Amino acid sequence: MKYSGQTRLLVAVDCIIFGFDGECYKLLLIQRGMAPEKKKWSLMGGFVQPDEHLDEAANRILKKLTGLEQVYMEQMYTFSQPDRDPVERTIAVTYVALIDINKYQQQISEEFHAKWFPLNETPQLIFDHNEIVSKAKSWLRYKAALHPILFELLPNKFTLPQLLALYEDLYETSFDKRNFSRKVLSTGLLIKQKEKEKESSKKGAFYYKLHKKKYKDGFQTFLNFVAKPENIL
């Protein structure tokens, strides 16, 4: 049995994968494998199958196009402009992931020429994918003001200057270093290590690790010097 008089719509999933290499944010892109816009730079996308949950489709598509698997992704937004795909009416459900580039680099597949681009040097993408990336960056700013999700981008042990760079690059602003350190340490999320990172300066900076239990419990308004969430989007 089918509903009579209804027009067919396709549902797709597009994955936005953000990474951080210690200096700047990067975006993972592929070269599209089919017409139209074949070989143009694109987010990782594909159609949802009749027997799939959206989350299953997102994981399948990401693995097929990039080789990445076991990556936690969160559903962000649905794009439904009638003319967003020139071939057929397609609704796109988007998913966002934050990963440590070094941790997952070995998984990256060459089949679709998956490549990391600095976020501020994103090339022209197919369809409405540049708009999707812009929305994802605003979404990331909003989420980072509520919860310490940016730790997903850091290695197992990191320094406070590295963490500071992570937030300054995302919000495109400068924070007071002492105030930043004081507020971050006051959350109780960080465990100080004995060793120092000494490549960046003679004095060196202590390494820290994330207190995983406290992180999983979640913290609202993690860094309250970040703009109020409602003013970010």
Rg of the chain over CA atoms, in angstroms?
20
pLDDT over threshold 80, residue 87: yes
Q: 100 or 13: which carries more pLDDT confidence?
A: 13
17/109 Cα distance (integer angstroms): 14
Lowest mean pLDDT: which of 4-8, 15-19, 39-43?
Answer: 4-8
Q: Enter the tokens of residue 145.
A: 């003001």
From the DSSP assignment, how many helices (H) and strands (E) are in the chain? Answer: 6, 10
pLDDT over threshold 90, residue 95: yes
**Model confidence over 27-38: pLDDT tens digits?**
999 999 999 999
Note whether 137 and 145 are within 8 A (CB): no
pLDDT over threshold 70, residue 226: no
Banded model confidence at residue 231, pLDDT cuts 50, 70, 90:
low
Q: In 59-204, which ranges are E strands? A: 74-79, 90-100, 115-118, 157-159, 190-197
Instruction: Return the axis-axis angle of helices 177-186 and 160-171, rounded to nearest 10°.
Output: 110
**Model confidence over 125-170: pLDDT tens digits?**
999 999 999 999 999 998 888 788 888 888 889 999 999 999 999 9
pLDDT over threshold 70, residue 222: no
**Model confidence over 171-207: pLDDT tens digits?**
888 999 999 999 889 888 899 999 998 877 667 899 9
pLDDT of residue 26: 95
Length of the chain: 233
Burial state string for 19-32 with b = 16 or more CB within 10 A and e = fewer than 16? bbeeeebbbbbbbb
Note whether 89 and 10 are within 8 A (CB): yes
Q: 233 or 115: which carries more pLDDT confidence?
A: 115
pLDDT over threshold 80, residue 219: no
pLDDT of residue 73: 94
pLDDT of residue 15: 98
CA angle 164, 24, 140 (to 5 degrees): 75
pLDDT of residue 61: 96
Return the C-alpha torsion angle 35, 57, 76, 185, nearest 10: -120
- pTM of the predicted model over 0.85: yes
Residues of the chain above pLDDT 90, percent? 62
pLDDT of residue 68: 93
pLDDT of residue 110: 82
Q: 173 or 60: which carries more pLDDT confidence?
A: 60
